[in-house]
Structure 1
């Protein structure tokens, strides 16, 4: 015998109207439910990707002309997280930590002030000169 009690939304518990296989009352409930039930590693990936996007936005905002220099305190105040970047470009002056198409190289000036040289990615940076298996 078929269960005649109305089905309820898995997220909010409201009665469902419509298709027999419906599980959620609307897209908001479906998205909320799925976000809450994602595996821990998926949530970690989402957090890392979110921080990488934030880092890129910060670098882009600070580098409207393709190259700029800012104090480390500015990056810190804007919430830049130095642990997250997408690649490393080794230049003759030191490494650039790239976040997609923007990057920075840390430096300390002759007065001991920590700064970041921010650059926009250039085509020559795509050359396959970086090899993690090659010892420096």
Structure 2
């Protein structure tokens, strides 16, 4: 799951999806938070966009697939709460922190794990017909 989360090295998120983290969580880099707050006020601007990955490339390129996502987590620059908890995990002994550290230090290790995880996911057999359901609300069974 950590490797698949690395897909957040590309793409954007709307302010409404990270505002809670930006204004309510202590484990966010203050310089990063200040920059994000310019485009994501406490109210309004719900559809304003920010890159999922605070790219360290010069010039920044939010479309570049690399391991910067994991480097950013080490600096408390995860845009989404679900991303940052991979590094500041309160799970037993920070169960995912070692994986994040490994991917941050080796782009090749991240690429290899990501490719393997994508292949595994592609080989999953979806439920069809009456075996499954399409939920009207994702978190609640119909």
TM over 0.5: no
Relative CO higher for 1 or 2, CA cutoff 8 Å, sep ≥ 6? 2
* TM-score, with length taken from structure 1: 0.22
Whichever of the two has the greater Rg, that structure is 1
Q: Which structure: greater strand fraction? A: 1
